[in-house]
Amino acid sequence: MKNPDLHLTEEFFCVTKAHKEKLNNHVAYVLWLTGLSASGKSTVARKLEYKLFLEGIRTIILDGDNTRLGINKDLDFSDGGRKENIRRVAEIAKLMVENGNVVIASFISPFEADRQLAKEIIGEQLFIEIFVDASLETCVKRDPKGLYALASAGKIENFTGISSPYRMPKKPHIHLDTNLKSIDESVAEVLTYLLIQAKIK
């Protein structure tokens, strides 16, 4: 792939993704967790990573708050800011998955178009979409950071579920109903999918 305007050419390396997967003894995917704030995404991501670690699987978590505090700290929460946030994260995830890692990306990512963009950047065959589904009522009751209260009081703008919409995935690979299922049950469901459907090992 070339970009003649910038005089750039994509480099290819001797050690490929397939080589690294063979060394790791597992295949690499991006697990994209989407859902409302307080739906359980980060908790599922942490426990899932721990379970995969115990199985000898190389993992990396990309978390919405952490990237907003670092590489994406210059972005706001407008629709354009959200789009660029997801684009950058998807490019990072692509680099990591190409290096043989299982990437667990935990992002609200409220818009279908932005999730589709992430899938296109990463590659459809490497992208597993996980909808961490909790109702707005459930999330407001949990509200561990007090964000819904602040948003409802007008102190946070463009807050998903209050002043900005969340568009649910139409056909996620995995649908976790965290209104009803515990975190452990949700993690077990993802692990079953990875072992049986995705054949991660």
Catalytic residues, by residue number, are 109
Unique residue bearing structure tokens 């859902």: 35
Choose among 1, 18, 182, 26: nearest CA to 102. Answer: 26
Report the alpha-carbon distance of residue 85 to residue 72 in Å, rounded.
6
Would you call 88 exposed, middle or buried from its count of C-beta atoms within 10 A (0-12, 13-18, 19+)?
A: middle
For the chain, the residue count is 201
Would you state the structure tokens that stand for residue 94, as one six-digit string? 């692509």
Report the alpha-carbon distance of residue 60 to residue 130 in Å, rounded.
16
Bridge partners of residue 3, in order along the sequence? 8
* Contact assessment for residue 99 and residue 59, using Cβ atoms and an 8 Å cutoff: no
Specify the 3-state DSSP secondary structure of 34.
strand
How far apart, in Å, are the Cα atoms of 38 and each of 108, 130, 141, 145, 191? 10, 15, 9, 9, 22
Report the alpha-carbon distance of residue 94 to residue 110 in Å, rounded.
20
